[in-house]
Amino acid sequence: MRKKIVAGNWKMNMDYNEGISLFSEIVNMVRDEKKGDQVAVICAPFIHLNSLAQLSSGVVKIGAQNCHQNESGAYTGEISAKMIKSTGSDYVIIGHSERRQYFAETDVLLSEKTTTALKHNLTPIFCIGETLDERNSGSYFQVIERQLTDGVFNLSAEDFSKIVLAYEPVWAIGTGLTATPEQAQDIHAFIRAKIESKYGVNIADDTTILYGGSCNAKNAPELFAQHDIDGGLIGGASLKSRDFTDIVKALNS
Ligand code: 13P
């Protein structure tokens, strides 16, 4: 059975004290709402990882938003997968569209980062998704397929079964424009079919595929009710404890 996950992505928000206070609220609220093996994750800026891990009481998992592809060395300003793991974090977002767009991260680079993250027992949340131009020109299925092929389909079946995918249409991120449940389900089913042709039906069935892009407490129940949508990657709404908790609750829909 694939895992149901709601992961918050705080992006470049929350100073040290703000982060601690928001996270403490989230832990207290999510504790009462999360069922069974559902997973809630907060992917925070690096400065927060260790202190949040101490406060998490196992209720909310911790993730980073990026890692370097190399193990260690002279890469001023960068953070390695091993360092992230040592803070008590379990997840790392790789290939967010903001990294692809503003930091010129390519599929090949992201594939290296994924391999390094797995080596250090971090679960990559690997993001894919098309831009508005790609959606309008009708090339989005090819774009998604290329991102999968070049980014993660080089992994062994064993390694692939450890990753989480997130479909985040770039045109829906931070814009208030959400993909309709049908649009999102369409792509999620396509992604699962591609996984099935590469790795077989069992791994395809067990892969968690999250939706991200203006997901909120109101639209989450309908999105999460889709057959191939296994939770969400949440930006803006993860900065409010009530909204984030309500999205976790929507996993029960
Ligand atoms: P919003 O939920 O703010 O649209 O952001 C989505 C996202 O980029 C999560 O990684």
Average pLDDT score, the chain: 97
Question: How does pLDDT run across 53-88, given as a tens digit for each residue?
Answer: 999 999 999 999 999 999 999 999 999 999 999 999
Q: How many domains does the chain have?
A: 1
Predicted local distance difference test score (pLDDT) of residue 44: 98
Residue 250 contacts residue 24 (beta carbons within 8 Å): no
Predicted local distance difference test score (pLDDT) of residue 78: 98
The CATH number that applies at residue 25 is 3.20.20.70
Q: Does the structure show a pLDDT above 80 at 226?
A: yes
Predicted local distance difference test score (pLDDT) of residue 176: 84
Q: Does the structure show a pLDDT above 80 at 253?
A: no
Q: Could you tell me the distance, in angstroms and rounded to a whole number, from the CA of residue 200 to the centre of ligand 1?
A: 30
Beta strands in the chain (DSSP E): 5-9, 39-43, 61-64, 91-94, 123-128, 164-167, 209-212, 231-234
User: Which residue has the CA at smallest separation from atom 5 of ligand 1?
Assistant: 235
Of 138, 122, 144, nearest to 43 (Cα)? 122
DSSP conformational letter for 166:
E
CA 176 to chain CA centroid, nearest Å: 19
User: Which residue has the CA at smallest separation from atom 9 of ligand 1?
Assistant: 235
Predicted local distance difference test score (pLDDT) of residue 36: 87
Question: How does pLDDT run across 131-178, given as a tens digit for each residue?
Answer: 999 999 999 999 999 999 999 999 999 999 999 999 999 999 988 888
Question: How does pLDDT run across 213-222, given as a tens digit for each residue?
Answer: 999 999 999 9
The ligand 1 site (C-beta within 6 Å) comprises 9, 96, 168, 173-174, 212-215, 233-237
Region 210-233: mean pLDDT is 97
With cut-offs at 50, 70 and 90, classify the pLDDT of residue 1. Answer: confident
For residue 234, give its domain range: 5-250
Beta strands in 59-188 (DSSP E): 61-64, 91-94, 123-128, 164-167
Region 111-128: mean pLDDT is 98
